[in-house]
């Protein structure tokens, strides 16, 4: 579960530790900004699962296309060989 960052509490905690108020405020603000921008780049598990399912589907389609092309090319090759053999028989 995500927790919210409280910059005011962070600044007060820094001040209690001896950091000057302006510096404590600046540190708390920078940390808060960093956490916020980092969170925006994160993805949820559901989003990741959906994207992964889409990639798996595309891979399966590519695999099927490859198998179809392979079988088709083998049929053409066998037909050409049989035709060539029949032609060679007819020549003798």
pTM reported for the whole predicted model: 0.47
Q: How many domains are contained in the chain?
A: 2
Same domain, 29 and 49: no
Q: What is the C-alpha separation between 35 and 22, in angstroms, rounded? A: 20
Same domain, 48 and 25: no
pLDDT of residue 6: 86
Digit-coded pLDDT (tens) for 12-60: 999 999 999 999 999 999 998 888 766 667 788 998 999 999 999 999 9
State the burial class of residue 3 (Cβ atoms within 10 Å of its Cβ: 0-12, 13-18, 19+).
exposed
pLDDT of residue 38: 62
Question: Residue 75's domain spans which residues?
Answer: 44-92
Q: How confident is the model at residue 69 (pLDDT cuts 50, 70, 90)?
A: very high
Kindly give the interhelix angle for 7-16 and 21-40, rounded to the nearest 10 degrees. Answer: 140
Give residue for tokens 């079988």.
71
Same domain, 92 and 49: yes
Same domain, 32 and 55: no
pLDDT of residue 1: 45
Same domain, 36 and 1: yes
Summarize the confidence of residues 64-69 as an average pLDDT. Answer: 95
Q: What is the C-alpha separation between 12 and 24, in angstroms, rounded? A: 7
Confirm if 22 and 30 have CB atoms less than 8 A apart: no
């Amino acid at each position: 579960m995500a927790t919210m960052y409280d910059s005011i509490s962070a600044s007060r905690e820094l001040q209690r530790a001896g950091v000057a108020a302006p510096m404590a405020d600046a540190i708390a603000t920078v940390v808060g900004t960093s956490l916020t921008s980092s969170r925006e780049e994160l993805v949820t598990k559901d989003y990741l699962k959906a994207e992964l399912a889409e990639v798996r589907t595309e891979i399966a389609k590519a695999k099927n296309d490859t198998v179809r092309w392979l079988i088709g090319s083998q049929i053409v090759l066998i037909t050409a060989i049989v035709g060539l053999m029949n032609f060679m028989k007819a020549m003798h």
